[in-house]
Amino acid sequence: MIQRILPRAFSGKASSFLRTATASQSTLAQPLQKDDTILPKMPPFDYTPPPYTGPSAEEILSKRQRYLSPAVFHFYKNPINLVEGKMQYLFDDKGRRYLDAFGGIATVCVGHCHPQVVDAIVNQTNRLQHSTILYLNPAIADFVEALASKFSGDLKVVYFTNSGTEANELALLMARLYTGCHDVISIRNGYHGNAAGTMGATAQSSYKFNVVQSGVHHAQNPDQYRGIFGSDGLKYARDVEEIVTYGTSGHVGAFISEAIQGVGGIMELAPGYLPAVYDTIRKAGGLCIADEVQSGFGRTGSHFWGFEAHGVMPDIVTMAKGIGNGIPLGAVITTPEIAKVLSYRSYFNTFGGNPVCTAAGLAVLRVIESENLQKNSFVVGSHLKQRLTSLKEKFDIIGDVRGRGLMLGVELVKDRQLKTPAKMEILHIMEQMKEMGVVIGKGGFFGNVFRITPPLCFTKADADFLVDVMDYSLSKL
């Protein structure tokens, strides 16, 4: 849907060719200043945020620069001061509305401030918030039962953590204790967390994430776009065989991977790779860990968990991010046999599985089911991918469109043959899209891949607006 006037989401500070939109909620913006260019129209949304009375963006930025670690960064030259969110939309301090095409992967699985999740959190907070599972409470019992029902086979024992990093750290610890072996194999360009162990396993997603750690071996990435074997998963899997044979004693503790690399640029592992690798690892006495922190909870549309698309059954599965719709929550699920190993050690997590977080987690599962969000992810994601693929045919700068469901990536390159990363161009386009009312993520080893991971309540109209804005921004590059 397009119009020749600027929607309210575009008001305030806009590009040089635009007039400032009117401040009235009931009227549209002024016509364009120059050539009456047709601009995408944001889908209507029946909500107006109350006036914001807090500190300005400049004041907040000043405090961040003065008191926060220099490692903390922000998107955009002029960062957005976000003060409210509703479902798939965000609002800044001026009341401008933005379509959130990224935050779903990080925080909001079912939508910003989903009323059922908010009610669950508030109601539980009013009753009880405690530290660990040292006492009985129905919140954790109900959630763990519902979560375990989402797995088949013998994956039935759950441990709760506060984040994906903690979940992956615990999974690696359990595998090493269970197998008695310290050696772990992970995939280059993968991402598993921000603690010492998980940063070691993260390999080469970026040198900033990688921390050298003994016993960690990095296997060739089964990258279907840039990899030397294309989409031949079996050829990539031979590298794992060689690591087992020549890089270890022939015995390994674990293999860990994402089904779709998130931070690594929404990279789907080559077909046939995981089944072959799982077979190799198990023959070497190791356990197979599936990192579902980003690809879980119906995001891929075709399956509830990303690993299911590969036809494998992990020994341990980790999850976080969307599990609590913004509440700090993570989980590890494994078999009763493997779970026993922690009973011989002293493991506890102060806040993992607390009543408020598990109440939120249960509400998320119920919303996914009641609103049929996995199917929505498949339907809307398929439509969105098709439209993005059409953009690839229009713009040579798009080298690849990939992913599934509402976990999609668009890789930008300066030259399709050489696949030269368009690192500066993507920053320019992100700025342009933000000015037009769309916030989007980026990732990949070179930082040249759009990460499109919106809340699962995304609609076809939202998808069309996103693509139309990207189309317009690319045309002005």
Indicate if the pLDDT at residue 337 is higher than 90: yes
Q: What is the pLDDT of residue 132?
A: 67
Whether residues 387 and 333 fall in one domain: no
Residue 63 lies in a domain: no
Measured in degrees and rounded to the nearest 5, phi and psi for residue 10 equal -100, 5
Residue 458 lies in a domain: no
The pLDDT tens digits for 257-310 are 999 999 999 999 999 999 999 999 999 999 999 999 999 999 999 999 999 999
Whether residues 380 and 350 fall in one domain: no
What number is the average pLDDT over the span 120-129?
94
Q: What is the pLDDT of residue 65?
A: 87
Residue 139 lies in a domain: yes
The pLDDT tens digits for 193-232 are 877 777 777 765 555 566 667 788 999 999 999 999 999 9
Whether residues 472 and 360 fall in one domain: no
What is the domain extent for residue 389?
374-447+468-477
Q: Say if residues 139 and 124 touch (Cβ distance below 8 Å).
A: yes
Whether residues 397 and 427 fall in one domain: yes
3 state DSSP class of 160: strand
What percent of the chain clears pLDDT 70, i.e. is strictly above it? 89
The pLDDT tens digits for 147-162 are 999 999 999 999 999 9
Indicate if the pLDDT at residue 379 is higher than 60: yes
Whether residues 199 and 246 fall in one domain: yes
CA–CA dist 75, 438 (Å, integer) = 13
Residue with tokens 């954790």: 140
Cα angle 454, 446, 240; round to 5: 90
How many domains does the chain divide into? 2
List beta partners, residue 159: 332
Half-sphere exposure of 37 (CA within 13 A, CB side): 16
Q: What is the pLDDT of residue 349?
A: 86
Indicate if the pLDDT at residue 461 is higher than 50: yes
Whether residues 360 and 381 fall in one domain: no
Residue 334 lies in a domain: yes
pTM assigned to the model = 0.89
Whether residues 378 and 362 fall in one domain: no
Give the end of a domain, one of 370, 403, 420. 370
What number is the average pLDDT over the span 305-323?
96
Whether residues 265 and 338 fall in one domain: yes
Whether residues 166 and 313 fall in one domain: yes
Give the end of a domain, one of 351, 370, 389. 370
Residue 267 lies in a domain: yes
What number is the average pLDDT over the span 375-395?
97
Whether residues 214 and 277 fall in one domain: yes
Out of 32-41, 232-241, 279-288, pick the least confident: 32-41
Q: Say if residues 11 and 22 touch (Cβ distance below 8 Å).
A: yes
In this structure, what CATH number is given to the domain that contains residue 185? 3.40.640.10
Q: What is the pLDDT of residue 208?
A: 58
Q: Say if residues 465 and 41 touch (Cβ distance below 8 Å).
A: yes
Residue with tokens 């809307």: 380
Q: What is the pLDDT of residue 179?
A: 96
Whether residues 436 and 305 fall in one domain: no
Whether residues 389 and 437 fall in one domain: yes
Give the end of a domain, one of 339, 370, 401. 370
In this structure, what CATH number is given to the domain that contains residue 418? 3.90.1150.10
Residue 319 lies in a domain: yes
Q: Say if residues 259 and 413 touch (Cβ distance below 8 Å).
A: no
Residue 28 lies in a domain: no
Residue 98 lies in a domain: no
